[in-house]
C-alpha cells in the first residue's frame, strides 16, 4: 500500500478594503473631529475590541492511499527551507486526509511535507517563492509581462505625442 499525496493551494482571509470619499476640506475637518472625539473615550473604557487582519497564503493538501482511501488522521511533519533537519510543524490530517498550514512567507524555497500512517507514508515538496509561487501562478510569463509593460509605455508616449502635435 502506498501513500500518495496531492496538493492544492488556496488563498485564505482575502478581505476587500472599503473606500471612504469626502468632498471638500470642510467635510474632511468635520470627519476628523468626529473620529478624534470618538477615539478618546474608547481608550478609557478598556473594553473595546481591536481587530486587525492580514491576508495570508495557505497550503492545503490531501493524503490518500493508492486505493483512493484517505490517510485518515495521518501524522504530518513539515520541514521549512531554512532548517530541513528539524520539523517546523507537526500535526495530524483530518478524517478525510486533509491538512492545512500557512508557510512563513519569510522562508522562501522548498517546503517538505511528510505524511505517515501505520508503517506507510509519502512526502511532497511544495515550492514557496514569494507571492507568485504561493498563489500557484499569476498566469503570465516573463515575455508576456515585458510585452504588456512595453505596450503601456508606448501608449503613454503616443498620447503625449498626440497632444504635442495638437498644440503645435
Partner 1 sequence: MKKFYYMAVLLTFLAAILAGCGSGGTGDRAEQSENKTGTLQFTANGEDFVRQGFTSKDGWDVSFNHVYVNLADITAYQSDPPYDAHAGGEVQAATKTIIPGAHTVDLAAGDQNALPILVSEKEVPVGHYNAISWQMLKASEGPAQGYSLVIAGAAVKNGKTVNFTLKNEKEYKYTGGEFIGDQRKGIVQEGGNTDLEMTFHFDHIFGDAGTPADDELNVGAPGFAPFAGLAADGNVEINMAGLKEKLSPEDYQKLETMLTTLGHVGEGHCYCEVL
Question: Which residues contact partner 1 (rule: CB under 8 A)?
Answer: 1-2, 4, 65-67, 79, 81, 84-85, 109-110, 112, 114, 116, 118-123, 125, 127, 129, 142, 145-146, 149-150, 153-154, 157, 160-161, 164
Question: In the bound complex, what is the minimum distance in angstroms from residue 127's beta carbon to partner 1?
Answer: 7
* C-beta neighbour count of 3 within 10 angstroms: 20
Among 64, 51, 114, CA closest to 87:
114
Of the pair 27, 141, the CB lying nearest partner 1 is at: 141
**Burial class of 104 by CB neighbour count within 10 A (0 to 12, 13 to 18, 19+):** middle
Of the pair 10, 162, the CB lying nearest partner 1 is at: 162
Question: In the bound complex, what is the minimum distance in angstroms from residue 69's beta carbon to partner 1?
Answer: 9
Of the pair 3, 57, the CB lying nearest partner 1 is at: 3
Question: In the bound complex, what is the minimum distance in angstroms from residue 96's beta carbon to partner 1?
Answer: 19
Of the pair 84, 136, the CB lying nearest partner 1 is at: 84
Question: In the bound complex, what is the minimum distance in angstroms from residue 92's beta carbon to partner 1?
Answer: 15
Pairing of strands 56-65, 75-79: unpaired
Question: In the bound complex, what is the minimum distance in angstroms from residue 106's beta carbon to partner 1?
Answer: 15
State the residue for C-alpha cell 473631529: 33
Pairing of strands 87-92, 75-79: antiparallel
CA distance 65 to 87: 23
CA distance 38 to 33: 9
C-alpha cell at 6: 496531492
Of the pair 29, 153, the CB lying nearest partner 1 is at: 153
Amino acid at each position: 500500500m502506498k501513500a500518495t499525496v496531492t496538493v492544492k493551494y488556496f488563498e485564505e482571509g482575502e478581505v476587500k478594503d472599503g473606500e471612504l470619499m469626502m468632498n471638500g476640506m470642510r467635510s474632511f475637518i468635520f470627519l476628523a473631529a468626529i473620529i478624534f472625539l470618538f477615539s478618546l473615550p474608547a481608550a478609557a473604557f478598556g473594553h473595546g475590541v481591536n481587530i486587525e487582519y492580514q491576508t495570508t497564503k495557505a497550503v492545503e493538501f490531501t493524503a490518500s492511499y493508492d486505493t483512493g482511501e484517505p490517510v485518515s488522521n495521518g501524522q504530518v511533519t513539515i520541514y521549512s527551507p531554512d532548517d530541513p533537519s528539524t520539523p517546523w510543524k507537526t500535526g495530524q490530517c483530518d478524517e478525510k486526509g486533509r491538512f492545512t498550514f500557512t508557510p512563513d512567507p519569510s522562508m522562501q524555497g522548498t517546503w517538505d511535507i511528510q505524511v505517515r500512517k501505520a508503517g506507510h507514508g509519502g512526502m511532497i515538496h511544495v515550492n514557496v517563492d514569494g507571492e507568485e509561487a504561493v498563489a500557484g501562478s499569476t498566469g503570465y510569463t516573463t515575455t508576456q509581462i515585458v510585452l504588456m509593460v512595453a505596450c503601456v509605455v508606448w501608449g503613454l508616449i503616443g498620447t503625449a505625442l498626440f497632444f504635442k502635435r495638437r498644440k503645435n
